[in-house]
C-alpha cells in the first residue's frame, strides 16, 4: 500500500477545481439513455467514473473521446439495452452500482450481474432492490445481507406506486428517477422516514432537465411523480466539484496564505457548497466571485466553534473535521449517521485516526464532537483506502512536523492529481511504498 510522508508546510497559489464526480456519473448515465449523440465536456476521468463508462458500454452504449476536443466524451445512447456479455464491475463506486442497477432493468431480456470491490460488497442495497421489486422488476442480491453482487432481470420497468426508505442514501432515489421515465405506466415514488443528502437528488433532477426531462416532486423531496417520456441528446458541461474543493478550502484555512480555487460553477446545485457558509460561520476568511467562478481562502490562526448539521452534505464530514483543528472552542458535527455507509464508516475512522494526532474527539451514532487541541502529534494514519479520508488526513498532517498517511492509491477514485496539486501549492510531501 502506497503511503505519503508529510512535513509541516505553508500553502499558497492558484488551483483549478477538478470536475464534479457526481455530475459526471449522472451525465454519462442519462446520455446513455438518450437516443442519439450527446457530448459531455469537462468530465472527471477517475476510477469511479471509468466504472460508470465501462458499465454503460457493457449495456451496449458507444462512448468515445471526442476527435475535436480531448476534454470531451461522446455518447451514442439508446433507451433499451443489450444483455451484458460479462459481469459489470462497479469497482469502488456506490453511485455506479446503484444507478446501473435500475438501468439494468431496461435490458431487453436476460440477466445483468453487478458487483464491485470488497468495500462495495458491504454497501447496503436493500431499499433499491425492494423498490424495483415493487415496480415489477426481478432484482435481488446474491446474499442474505442484500449487498452486492446483484442480479437484475431485464424486460422493463412496469410502474405503479413504490415506497422507499430515505435515510440511508439519496442514490437510491437518483437511480430510480434516472431510469423510471421509461416505465410502462406512470410511477409514484414515496419516501419513508427522513430523506438524507437532498442536494444530490436536486443535482440529478437538474441534470435530467438538461436532457429535456422534468420531474414533479413536493417541496420536501418525499414524493415524486414520473410519467413516461424520453431524454433528448444534448451537450452538457460538467461543473467543478465542491466535494473536492472543500478539501482544498480546508487546506487553505489550515495551512494557507492565499489560495484561489478556480473553475467553480455556482449555477448547478451542489450540497457541498455549504462549506463556504461553514467556514464563514467559524470566522474563516473566504470570499467568492461567481462571475469569475472563483473561491479565495486565506489561512486562519484560530476559528470559532460551531454546531454543524451535515444531513444534506455528508461528504463534507472529512473537510469539516480537519478544519475543526483550528477551532478554539468545541465543534459539534451532527446529522451524519449515513456517513457510516460510505466507502468506509467515516465516522469511526475519523475518530480513531484523529485521536492518533492528539485530538480529543467524542463519537456518537449521529455526531462527532471535536474539542480544541493545542498541538498536533506526529502520527501514522490509515485512510482505509477511502479517497476523501486520505486527502483529509494528508491536509491535517501538514500541521505536524512529520506524519505518514497510508492509502495513496485511493485518490484515483475522485481526484487523481491531488498529490501533484498540493505539492504545486507548496506541500512538502513524498510518495513512498
Q: Residue 330 corresponds to which cell in the numbers above?
A: 468545541
Which residue among the candidates 315, 366, 382, 412 is catalytic per the annotation?
315
User: 392 preceded by cis ω (within 30°)?
Assistant: no
How far CA 161 is from CA of 129, 133, 158, 164, in Å, comes to: 15, 11, 10, 10
Q: Does residue 176 contact residue 203 with C-beta atoms inside 8 Å?
A: no
Distance of CA 395 to the CA centre of its chain: 19
Reply yes or no on whether 315 is catalytic: yes
Catalytic residue IDs? 315
Amino acid at each position: 500500500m502506497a503511503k505519503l510522508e508529510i512535513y509541516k508546510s505553508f500553502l499558497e497559489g492558484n488551483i483549478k477545481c477538478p470536475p464534479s464526480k457526481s455530475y459526471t456519473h449522472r451525465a454519462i448515465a442519462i446520455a446513455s439513455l438518450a437516443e442519439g449523440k450527446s457530448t459531455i465536456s469537462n468530465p472527471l476521468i477517475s476510477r469511479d467514473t471509468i466504472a460508470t463508462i465501462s458499465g454503460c458500454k457493457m449495456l451496449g452504449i458507444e462512448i468515445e473521446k471526442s476527435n475535436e476536443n480531448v476534454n470531451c466524451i461522446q455518447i451514442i445512447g439508446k433507451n433499451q439495452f443489450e444483455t451484458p456479455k460479462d459481469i459489470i464491475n462497479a469497482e469502488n463506486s456506490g453511485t455506479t452500482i446503484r444507478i446501473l442497477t435500475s438501468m439494468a432493468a431496461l435490458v431487453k431480456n436476460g440477466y445483468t450481474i453487478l458487483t464491485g470491490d470488497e468495500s462495495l460488497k458491504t454497501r447496503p442495497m436493500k431499499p433499491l432492490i425492494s423498490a424495483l421489486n415493487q415496480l415489477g422488476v426481478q432484482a435481488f442480491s446474491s446474499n442474505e445481507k442484500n449487498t452486492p453482487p446483484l442480479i437484475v432481470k431485464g424486460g422493463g420497468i412496469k410502474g405503479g406506486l413504490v415506497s422507499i426508505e430515505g435515510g440511508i442514501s439519496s442514490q437510491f432515489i437518483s437511480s430510480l428517477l434516472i431510469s423510471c421515465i421509461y416505465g410502462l405506466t406512470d410511477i409514484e415514488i414515496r419516501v419513508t422516514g427522513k430523506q438524507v443528502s437532498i442536494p444530490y437528488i436536486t443535482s440529478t433532477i437538474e441534470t435530467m432537465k438538461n436532457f429535456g426531462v422534468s420531474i414533479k416532486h413536493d417541496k420536501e423531496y418525499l414524493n415524486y411523480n414520473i410519467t413516461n417520456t424520453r431524454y433528448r441528446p444534448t451537450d452538457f458541461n460538467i461543473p467543478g466539484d465542491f466535494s473536492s474543493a472543500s478539501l482544498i478550502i480546508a487546506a487553505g484555512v489550515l495551512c494557507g496564505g492565499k489560495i484561489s480555487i478556480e473553475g467553480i460553477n455556482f449555477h448547478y446545485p451542489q450540497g457541498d457548497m455549504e462549506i463556504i457558509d461553514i467556514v464563514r460561520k467559524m470566522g474563516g476568511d473566504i470570499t467568492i466571485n461567481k462571475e469569475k467562478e472563483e473561491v479565495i481562502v486565506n489561512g486562519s490562526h484560530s476559528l470559532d466553534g460551531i454546531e454543524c448539521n451535515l444531513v444534506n452534505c455528508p461528504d463534507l464530514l472529512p473537510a469539516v473535521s480537519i478544519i475543526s483543528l483550528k477551532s478554539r472552542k468545541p465543534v459539534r458535527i451532527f446529522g451524519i449517521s449515513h456517513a457510516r455507509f460510505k466507502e468506509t464508516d467515516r465516522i469511526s475512522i475519523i475518530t480513531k485516526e484523529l485521536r492518533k494526532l492528539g485530538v480529543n474527539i467524542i463519537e456518537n451514532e449521529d455526531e462527532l464532537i471535536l474539542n480544541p487541541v493545542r498541538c498536533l502529534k506526529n502520527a501514522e494514519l490509515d485512510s482505509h483506502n477511502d479517497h476523501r479520508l486520505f486527502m483529509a488526513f494528508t491536509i491535517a498532517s501538514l500541521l505536524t512536523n512529520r506524519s505518514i498517511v497510508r492509502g495513496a492509491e485511493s485518490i484515483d477514485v475522485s481526484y487523481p492529481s491531488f498529490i501533484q496539486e498540493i505539492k504545486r501549492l507548496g506541500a512538502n510531501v513524498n510518495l513512498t511504498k
